[in-house]
Amino acid sequence: MIRSLADFSRIAGEKGPKKLAVLAPEDEDFMTAVKTSWQMGHIEPVLIGNTEKMERVAENVGFDIRGFEKIVGDDRQAIADLGIHMLFSGKLAIASKGQIPTSYIYRSIIREEGRAGSGMTVSVVTFWEIPGLDYLVVITDTGVSIKPDLKAKTEILKNALFVYRLLGCPRPRIAVLSGQREVGGTLASYRDFEQLRKAALEGEFGNCEIVNATSFTEIFLGERTRPVAYGGINMERLPHILLVPCLDTGNILCKLDFFLDVTRSSLVATSRGPVCIPSRADSSDNIVQQLAMCVVIAERMREGGT
Amino acid sequence: MPASFREVIETAQKEGAKRLAISFPGKKDIEILAEAAGAGLVIPCLVGDGNPIESMVSETSLKSLKHEIVEEKNQQKALGQAIRFVRDGRADMLMQGADTHQALMDAILDTKNGLRKGKLVSYISVFELPKQGKLFLVADTFINNSPTLAEKQMILDHAIRLAGILGIAAPKVAALAAIEQINLNIPSTLDAAILSKMSERKQFGSAVVEGPIDIDCALSEAPALRKGLRSAVTGKVDIYLVPEVDTGHLLAEALVFFGAMQAAGAVMGTTKPVILNIPFVSEANRMVEIAMAALMCKRGETNA
């Protein structure tokens, strides 16, 4: 089982390079990440975008891109459409967002999933590597659904389970998170938890367990009213997958790596392969990590995970 | 300006002991109150079943410190009595004992006999950030489920007031959302943008509100600069205003459980300070909450 981000990097080195559609690589940090990933043998880039801009940025970071396939494009949506279409048509294994609004990428994926008739919902799966914990923790959906209803959460959870099982975990544990407290009535997020847990017990999600806890207090302390005691927190009580109530919560929680001692890495799992969607705030090292993760997920999907 | 919880307690100690009412205190409550009384922060008024309370008191240092036990065997009546003491000025603050959160909140929010001051009561978490030698606030992490824009304005007013009590005169506020751009489909970004504009027009006094802002830009200047966001707030936030309680509650818990950050908090919007039992606040840090409540008393009015 893949248990760390280093595992992704190691396996990407063994299984790469994978052909990657690089969508508008017009930023130095991002181009540096593409260069590093190529040097590490993880990827073989197909560069799509404004030739002049790509060449200028590549030159600035000392990356000779003359030998790579390049496709000229200026319109951001057209670049996204082309790259995602190439992924869905099997011409390459991964796509990665460069200087394109993420919403354009999501739009392209939704269109292609519609054409493919996969029924797959678009959602972002973010991994957290937590020191001392010997497995990765997924937080989802951290990027697409603003306020998912029960149906959307069902699909988001299925996506996360699909990805987590590709890591080699046969029975993922899941927490459906909620801000439910002893006051304020029942939150929609808690009602969703109840329904999803019932569905899981009825076999809707295959071999997995939705734990009977919706807050971190319940997860770590076993009950909602017991006060926290520092130093006695057993991190292994943390489930493999954390399904968040809404986009605001997901995005805010997952990016706490800027504050906490955790490392973050995200991807979108489509029915045809992973899409890397680095944030504009991500460093090139972080993007290299995310590309390595996509390489491994692409390989596992090719091996028959789908 | 207190830079740590220890300094909050030290500052409050200078104000002299305040009278604290609690109904049906448990053993842990009495241990905390013994410590707080020993530190000169409070004179506890323990309302409830006298014999067991006396027995618990006798096992702590409180037995030799100034305190009062008021006999009332009925728990509901005891809560009413404790609140009445606070309303009538016989006590300066209320602390939650064995009552459930809902029972306590219902009693506090009662328009006739409660402690509600304005239209809204909120709970503001306070965290210690030792590396930067500062405290920061997260609002609201416990009480309001899905605040409207008008309610967010009130919550923010509460947070700014609490920041002032803690010595942060011109707080920098991050009105958080999933993204830093205004997206008409994401209500939190619209609310944050409006609050930010209100701040530009000085509707929050000297506080500076930046929003919408995502957490990475709020926490660190470097990602903000990469995103082209230049603001006095990035990387220097004193108050994080969250969109709703799912986010607020889980964020506060995440800081405690993943970051081992010390947390306390305060109820705002009541006529006198109220100290809640919040699970992500350790028993030790309830001393800090008592100290903050004492500092609120200093202001003469609390917080609405």
Q: What is the pLDDT of residues B65-111, one digit of tens each?
A: 999 999 999 999 999 999 999 999 999 999 999 999 999 999 999 99
The whole-number pLDDT of residue A112 equals 95
Query: Tens digit of pLDDT per residue, chain A (306 long)?
Result: 999 999 999 999 999 899 999 999 998 999 999 999 999 999 999 999 999 999 999 999 999 999 999 999 999 999 999 999 999 999 999 999 999 989 899 999 999 999 999 888 899 999 999 999 999 999 999 999 999 999 999 999 999 999 999 999 999 999 999 999 989 999 999 999 999 999 999 999 999 999 999 999 999 998 877 788 887 789 999 999 999 999 999 999 999 998 899 999 999 989 999 999 998 778 899 999 999 999 999 999 998 754
Same domain, A259 and A130: yes
Same domain, A127 and A261: yes
* Whole-number average pLDDT of chain B: 95
The whole-number pLDDT of residue B300 equals 56
Q: What is the mean pLDDT of residues B126-155?
A: 96
Quick check: A72 contacting B, CB < 8 Å? no
> What DSSP element (H or E) covers A246?
none
Comparing C-alpha atoms, which of B185, B224, B213 is closest to residue A280? B224
What are the start-end ranges of the H helices in A180-305?
Answer: 188-201, 216-221, 247-254, 284-300
E strands, A87-240, are: 94-97, 124-129, 137-140, 173-176, 209-210
- Determine what percent of chain B is predicted with pLDDT higher than 90: 92
Nearest to B247 among A146, A220, A249 (CB): A249
Pairing of strands A137-140, A124-129: antiparallel
Quick check: A101 contacting B, CB < 8 Å? no
Comparing C-alpha atoms, which of B293, B246, B263 is closest to residue B140? B246
E strands, B114-247, are: 122-129, 134-139, 172-176, 208-213, 239-241
Distance (Å) from the alpha carbon of B135 to chain A's nearest alpha carbon? 14
Distance (Å) from the alpha carbon of B16 to chain A's nearest alpha carbon? 28
Comparing C-alpha atoms, which of B57, B75, B77, B78 is closest to residue B67? B57
Q: Could you give the 3-state DSSP secondary structure of residue A218? A: helix
Q: What is the pLDDT of residues B251-277, one digit of tens each?
A: 999 999 999 999 999 999 999 999 999
Decide if B246 and A179 are in contact by the 8 Å CB cutoff.
Answer: yes
Strand partners, B208: B172
Q: What count of other Cβ atoms lies within 10 Å of the Cβ of residue B131?
A: 6
Nearest to B101 among A183, A255, A281 (CB): A183
Distances in whole angstroms, Cα of residue B87 to Cα of each of A105, A158, A252, B50, B91: 58, 53, 39, 22, 8
Domain made up of B122-257: CATH architecture: 3-Layer(aba) Sandwich (3.40)
Contact B53, B44 (CB under 8 A): no
Distance (Å) from the alpha carbon of B302 to chain A's nearest alpha carbon? 22
Distance (Å) from the alpha carbon of A236 to chain B's nearest alpha carbon? 12
Q: pTM of the predicted model, to two decimals?
A: 0.95
- At B167, the pLDDT band (50, 70, 90 cuts) reads very high
The whole-number pLDDT of residue B227 equals 83
Same domain, A220 and A301: no
Same domain, A2 and A15: yes
Same domain, A240 and A283: no
Q: What is the pLDDT of residues B175-228, one digit of tens each?
A: 999 999 999 999 999 999 999 999 999 999 999 999 999 999 999 998 888 888
d(CA A304, CA A38): 25
Nearest to B101 among A177, A178, A181 (CB): A181
Same domain, A129 and A259: yes
Same domain, A156 and A280: no
- CATH no. for residue A12? 3.40.50.10950
The backbone region for B136, taken as left when phi is positive above 0, alpha when psi lies in -120 to 50, beta otherwise, is: beta
Edge-first strand listing for the sheet containing B18-23: B68-71, B42-48, B18-23, B93-95, B274-275
Question: Residues 31-70, chain A: which have Cβ within 8 Å of B?
Answer: none
The whole-number pLDDT of residue A283 equals 86
Q: Of the ranges A229-238, B4-13, B157-166, which one carries the lowest mean pLDDT score? A: A229-238
Length of chain B: 304
- CATH no. for residue A235? 3.40.718.10
Chain A residue nearest residue B247, CA to CA = A249
Chain A residue nearest residue B254, CA to CA = A216
Same domain, A231 and A133: yes
> Residue A170 is part of which domain span?
123-269
Residues of chain B in contact with residue A260, where contact means CB-CB under 8 angstroms, are: 254-255, 258-259
User: Sign of the C-alpha dihedral, residues B245, B248, B252, B257?
Assistant: positive
Chain A residue nearest residue B220, CA to CA = A258
Same domain, A99 and A154: no
Quick check: A133 contacting B, CB < 8 Å? no
**How many structural domains comprise chain A?**
2
Distance (Å) from the alpha carbon of A166 to chain B's nearest alpha carbon? 26
The whole-number pLDDT of residue A305 equals 57
Q: What is the pLDDT of residues A87-143, one digit of tens each?
A: 999 999 999 999 998 989 999 999 999 999 988 889 999 999 999 999 999 999 999
Same domain, A39 and A162: no
Q: What is the pLDDT of residues B18-28, one digit of tens each?
A: 999 999 999 99
What are the start-end ranges of the H helices in A207-265?
Answer: 216-221, 247-254
Domain ranges of chain B: 5-118+269-298, 122-257
- At B303, the pLDDT band (50, 70, 90 cuts) reads very low
Same domain, A177 and A60: no
Pairing of strands B42-48, A69-72: unpaired
Residues 6+ positions from A114 with CB-CB distance below 8 Å: none
What CATH topology corresponds to B5-118+269-298? Rossmann fold (3.40.50)
Residues of chain A in contact with residue B262, where contact means CB-CB under 8 angstroms, are: 230
Whether the complex's predicted ipTM is more than 0.85 is answered with yes
Same domain, A86 and A209: no
What is the residue-wise DSSP string for B279-290?
A: TTS-TTTHHHHH
